[in-house]
Amino acid sequence: MTPNKLLLITGVSSGFGRALAQQALADGHRVVGTVRNAQAAEAFAAMCPARAHARILDVTQFDAIDGVVADIEANVGAVDVLVNNAGYGHEGILEESPLSDMRRQFDVNVFGPVAMMKAVLPFMRARRRGHIVNITSMGGYITMPGIAYYCGSKFALEGISDTLAREVRPFGIAVTAIAPGSFRTDWAGRSMQRAARSIADYDALFDPVRKAREAKSGKQPGDPAKAARAILAVIEADAPPTHLLLGSDALQLVRGKLADLGRELDAWEEVSVSTDG
């Protein structure tokens, strides 16, 4: 990627966002990072006073997003790359988890990224160039008991990314959905929102899953710094992928899911074609 690109990255206080911002700055790029408060803004700007720019923004404040992006375009520069990184994980059995938890999950993981995309697209389309990178998850391909709301949000963002890629390709704009596996971020720790347990019927299924996830937090195989370098390589590519998995676990689990799906399609093929008139 040519030095002095401007990346707009949501959620740079920790995890992938932090690692990506650090690597981009180290490579000579400029970064506008969104944070949640003034203290975090000061800390981010101090990382590289000449090229790190902070903006206080909650991606669920949908009415504020257009103004923030317009301010960046006017006072910092043209956004070359949008990275929708801000998000969190919700853990809870579907029957036990209130609908308000699902609304919050989708506000942060789906509606926020869509609002960001809608804000940058007029500028990118006018310039006939740009790249949108959406951080999804292997949970946008596979599912596990206890993260229905999270998987649903990531399935949605994968589908939206794929559709948008087809819509904006004629304008020189690329869209990449990047689906990490298990990485050493705060996803399963401090950032995880956990619904209260209330139905004993699910204890045998879910209690071991919750305990195992808590025990593995901070010990996952994925290295966020290596993920950052991989993401920057995707941004630099002449023909970037529309979908990319990160992590050997993601690759193995998604390949297994696709194989299982293929077998199920074959087993029910006769029923599938029987509905043609």
> Coil, strand or helix: which one is 160?
helix
What is the pTM for the complete model shown? 0.94
Clarify whether 150 is annotated catalytic. Answer: yes
**pLDDT greater than 60 at residue 189:** no
- Say what the pLDDT of residue 186 is: 66
Both tokens of 190, joined, read 């401090």
* pLDDT tens, residue by residue, 256-271: 999 999 999 999 999 9
Q: How many CB atoms lie within 10 A of CB 111?
A: 16
* pLDDT tens, residue by residue, 11-48: 999 889 999 999 999 999 999 999 999 999 999 999 99
**pLDDT greater than 80 at residue 221:** no
What is the C-alpha separation between 82 and 121, in angstroms, rounded?
10
Mean pLDDT, residues 74-94: 96
**Angle CA(21)–CA(78)–CA(16) in degrees, nearest 5?**
20
Summary mean pLDDT of the chain: 94
* Chain centroid to CA 79: 18
Catalytic residue, chosen from 88, 141, 149, 150, is 150
* pLDDT tens, residue by residue, 241-250: 999 999 999 9
Residues in Cβ contact with 38 at an 8 Å cutoff, skipping those fewer than 6 apart: 56
- Say what the pLDDT of residue 216 is: 75
- Say what the pLDDT of residue 3 is: 62
Both tokens of 137, joined, read 């998850």
Residues in Cβ contact with 45 at an 8 Å cutoff, skipping those fewer than 6 apart: 52, 53, 54
What is the C-alpha separation between 9 and 235, in angstroms, rounded?
13
* pLDDT tens, residue by residue, 126-151: 999 999 999 999 999 999 999 999 99
